[in-house]
Structure formats: C-alpha cells, structure tokens
Amino acid sequence: MALVFGKELLDKANKEKYAIGAFNFTNLETLQGIIRAAEKKRSPVIVQTTEGTIEYMGLKNIVALVHVMAMDSDIPIVLHLDHGRDFGLVEKCINGGYTSVMYDGSSLSFDDNISGTSKIVECAKLMDVPVEAELGQISTESDMFTDPDQAADFVSKTGVDFLAVSIGTQHGPFTAPPKLDFDRISVIKEKVGIPLVMHGSSGLSFEDVKRAVECGINKININTDIRQVFSAAVRDVLKDESIYKIRPYLSKGRDAVQKNVEKHIENLGSCGKV
C-alpha cells in the first residue's frame, strides 16, 4: 500500500471518536518496530520524524525507506514531520514525499503564528499535504495552555487541518504526574471541530490518555517511550561485553519498541480500524 495522507486517517478518527498513534522513529529498527506493531493490531499508524532526525538520517533516505516499507505493508501509513520550525525544511518535506507536516509557530506571537501557518497551508495545499499547527506551548504551566477562543480564531484564519493543543503535558520524561485539563480539550473541540493533537504523551497513564481521546484528541504523539524502551533493551544485551555483532542488540531494541507500540495502539481505540 502506498503512503496515505494524514487528513484521510484523522478525519475518520475524528468522526468515529478514536485516536491514532503518531510514533517518532530515528533509525530502521525503531521504524520496523512501529510498523510491525500496527500491522499486528490492524491499526492505521503515523510515523514521524523531527528536524533532528532529518539531519541525522537525511530527508531523501527517510522518504525512500518509509515509502518502500509502506508499499510492502497492508495498513495505512502516514509519514509526518513533527515540530517543523524551519520554514524551508517544512517546504522540502511537503515537496519531498511527506504526507503530513507540522509547522510549529507556537513560540511566535499569535499574529505571527497565524501568518507563518497560513503560508505553509497555502504551499501544502498544492500537494494535498495536510498541516498540523500548534497554539499555546506544550507545558504543565497553565498560563501556557491553549485558549479556546483563540483556537477557534486561529483555525478559521489559517485553514489548518489539525491543531496541537497545550493542556498539561510536557515533552520528555515527567518528573511528577501531570494534571491534564480535560475540560479545556472538550471546549476547544466544540469550538474548532477539527482533529486535535496531544504532544508529550509518553509517561501518561493509559486512563488519562483514554479520557483525553474521549474529550476530543485524535492524534497522540509518542517519542520518549520509544527512545527509552529501545535504549533499555540495547543496554541489557550489551551487558555481555563479548557481543560485538550489531544485529543481536538492535533487534532486541526493535522488539521492545514493537511491544510498547502495541500497548499504546490498544489504548487509543484504533485496533482493527484497517
């Protein structure tokens, strides 16, 4: 199956009130683990890269790798750019084979965020590539949370397809259990109607994730969990200092990623949606 566009999957998830996992990969093995998990659970999946991963792996290499793996798979796969802040790089992804992109102007003023996002949306529409934007800044500090009225204005003025909202999560490992603002999710959803995205989801309880989905989240980003389980599995194998072949420890990391992603997919309600 060829890669599919993100809007196709997330509009369906929005209508049927479930979420799709968006999992970051940084090498062949993490990508294999994610796709194998989705195939086993018969779930659509979003595989995504940061700007740092593009610098590490190379944009053309990423696109070629994911396109080939998608052609060999029978599940819908989206290739998404996560937190694209470099305008030029976002454009390269749009024109270079990504089937969904995020332009992150959340650190800008409200007006500048609208301006930058609108330009990306205009460019992306030429290639039928949907755009995710962020309003508010992903943080546990309530003064950084997304304002529902601003969200409605932002979506109306930009024509963005998906909106990442700040409701109490954070990127990276949590130092204390977060307190999510579920009511805010519901209000934003009522005002904008489009699929909502929750970043910083690694480490959340499955109960909180389920409740967030019930309130209107349709895309759940998972990155830190992938890194942690992969690294832990590799470290465990390399305790044996006689091991020097690469496949034995990388394959353990891949298998750990698959198990972790399977659990997330089960929790999001996307099992059997293929």
In this model, does residue 173 exceed pLDDT 70?
Answer: no
Cβ neighbours for 125, distance < 8 A, ≥ 6 positions apart = none
d(CA 192, CA 29): 37
DSSP state of 164: E
Angle at which helix 59-71 crosses helix 28-41, to 10 degrees, equals 30
Closest Cα to residue 136, out of 127, 128, 145?
145
In this model, does residue 95 exceed pLDDT 80?
Answer: yes
Domains contained in the chain, CATH given: 6-268 (3.20.20.70)
Task: Average the pLDDT over 262-274 and give the result.
Answer: 92
Q: Please report, as a single letter, which amino acid is at residue 267.
A: N
Q: Please report, as a single letter, which amino acid is at residue 223.
A: N
Centre a 10 Å sphere on the Cβ of residue 274 and count the other Cβ atoms it contains. Answer: 15
Cβ neighbours for 106, distance < 8 A, ≥ 6 positions apart = 113, 134, 135, 136, 137, 138, 164, 166
Cβ neighbours for 84, distance < 8 A, ≥ 6 positions apart = 51, 90, 93, 101, 102, 103, 104
d(CA 120, CA 130): 10
Q: Quote the distance between the C-alpha of residue 145 and its chain's center.
A: 19
Show the tokens assigned to 127. Answer: 């290639």
In this model, does residue 2 exceed pLDDT 90?
Answer: no
The predicted-structure confidence for 13-51, as pLDDT tens digits, reads as follows: 999 999 999 999 999 999 999 999 999 999 999 999 999
Scanning the structure block, which residue is given the tokens 């060829």? 2
Q: Which residue is catalytic, options 72, 74, 82, 225?
A: 82
pLDDT of residue 172: 60
Q: In Å, what is the CA distance from 94 to each residue of 31, 197, 271?
A: 20, 20, 29
Helices (H), the chain: 6-16, 28-41, 51-57, 59-71, 87-96, 110-125, 148-158, 182-192, 206-215, 224-237, 246-268
Contact 56, 25 (CB under 8 A): no
Scanning the structure block, which residue is given the tokens 């934007």? 133
Residue 82 designated active-site: yes
pLDDT band at 201 (very low <50, low <70, confident <90, very high): confident
The predicted-structure confidence for 130-172, as pLDDT tens digits, reads as follows: 999 999 766 556 667 899 999 999 999 999 999 999 988 776 6
